[in-house]
Amino acid sequence: MRSALAALLCLAASPAAATYPVEIDAKTNGLAIEVKASAGTPLVVTFVSKEKANATCKASIATGLDTPVTKTVTVKGGKSTAVPFNLRSAPNRVRVIVVCTPPAVKSEAKT
Q: Regarding predicted confidence, which is higher, 108 or 84?
A: 84
Whether 5 contacts 77, CB under 8 Å: no
- CATH architecture of the domain with range 15-101: Sandwich (2.60)
69 Rama class: left (phi>0) / alpha (psi -120 to 50) / beta: beta
Task: Return the pLDDT at 9.
Answer: 40
* Beta-carbon-side half-sphere exposure of residue 100 (alpha carbons within 13 Å): 26
- 16 pLDDT higher than 70: no
Distance CA 23, CA 43 (A): 12
